[in-house]
Amino acid sequence: MAGSGAIEPSEHYVLGHSDRELERLTRQAALIEPITRDLLLDAGIGSGMRLLDVGTGRGDVAFLAAELVGDTGSVVGFDRAATGLAVARGRAEAHAVGNVSFEEGDPTDRAFELPFDAVIGRYVLEFNPDPAAMVRRLAARLRPGGVVAFHEIDWTGARSVPPVAIWDRCCRLAVEGLKAGGADTEIGMKLPSIFAAAGLPPPTMRMTALVGAGANSDGPVHRLAGLVSSLLPSLEGHGLVAADELDPASLADEILDEVTAGASAVVAGSEITVWSRVQTAGGSSAGAQSAAR
């Protein structure tokens, strides 16, 4: 599939789709929801719009978007993993959310009766072997003036000050595990060049970091510990950690204890959000729009 621009098949997804991973995604979604919300609002997502959410998983971004477009709008979430989609559909039914639906498969391989007003996604381009081709094909599903908006991550700035050994080690393990699974852990800062290669104008771009401060680091610490725990099978399989070296049940407490003891500031990477508009039918650009900021 390399070079096709299609969404990566679920069987190659390094984080898997276990119950633990779905629980991790629930906690992560609550932590980063304000960042994604700001992206969608900044991109002009609003009432009555028709949206395509790619790599929807358990539907967190789709439900956020459904709230913004209201009853007169609609959101279609696509994913290749049936497990996550089952959770998303169950959530939609349980909460009687009628303006969102979920489909299994690759939207770049589908024909739609009507174009979309926006295509959105979070943490999906990093797992694609050719993100520019994927963005180009997704943009072709938009009306002229439609929005392309993505929230991705860049691990380049992961650090602790003063240094916390277990935090820094877990950040390295997260990067190594994700890379071993084919992810691009520095994709965030590459998004302007990816958009350019996809034929889109320079995007509006923002960077945000989730930072912990000593004992007030619960959110970032549990997020990192959960990610490393989900990656453990891959990390052990690639010989990056020894079997039973890390205990998922106690890892977060171990990290938090050391961060608290050092009164350290910790950051696991940068949250990067970008959005741009297609200029013509079929998603191609007729020229540059707003400069990245």
DSSP string, 16-58: ---HHHHHHHHHHHHHHHHHHHHHHHHTT--TT-EEEEES-TT
Q: What angle do CA 137, 138, 142 make, to 5 degrees?
A: 115
**For 90-146, what is each residue's pLDDT tens digit?**
999 999 999 999 999 999 988 899 999 999 999 999 999 999 999 999 999 999 999
- Write the pLDDT tens digit of every residue in 9-52: 444 555 555 667 777 888 889 999 999 999 999 999 999 999 99
- CA atoms of 194 and 216, how far apart (whole Å): 36
Tell me what the mean pLDDT of segment 164-174 comes to.
97
The total of other beta-carbon atoms located within 10 Å of residue 104's CB is 13
pLDDT by residue (tens digit) across 252-277? Answer: 999 999 999 999 999 999 999 999 99
- 53-99, pLDDT tens digit by residue? 999 999 999 999 999 999 999 999 999 989 889 999 999 999 999 99
Is residue 229 pLDDT above 70, yes or no? yes
Average pLDDT of span 181-192:
96
Give kind and range of the element (H or E) at residue 17: none
CATH entry, 10-283, from 3.30.930.10, 3.40.50.150, 3.30.9.10, 3.40.50.720: 3.40.50.150
Return the closest-CA partner of residue 150 out of 39, 34, 281, 29: 39
What pLDDT, on a 0 to 100 scale, did the predictor assign at position 23?
78
**pLDDT at residue 162 greater than cutoff 80:** yes
Non-local CB neighbours of 265 within 8 Å, separated by 6+ positions: 160, 161, 211, 212, 213, 214
**Contact call for residues 119 and 86 (beta carbons, < 8 A):** no
- pLDDT tier for residue 207 given thresholds of 50, 70 and 90: very high
Which residues pair with residue 149 across a beta bridge?
A: 120, 275
The confidence score (pLDDT) of residue 156 equals 95
User: Sorting pLDDT into bands at 50, 70 and 90, what band is 5?
Assistant: very low
Instruction: Tell me what pLDDT residue 15 has.
Output: 58
User: Mean of the pLDDT values across residues 219-240?
Assistant: 93
3-state helix, strand, coil in the chain (%, to 5): 45, 20, 35
- Other CB atoms within 10 Å distance of the CB of residue 162: 9
Domain map (residue ranges) of the chain: 10-283
- The SS3 call for residue 92 is helix
Mean of the pLDDT values across residues 283-288? 45
Average pLDDT over residues 177-205: 96
Q: What's the token pair of residue 186? A: 């520095």
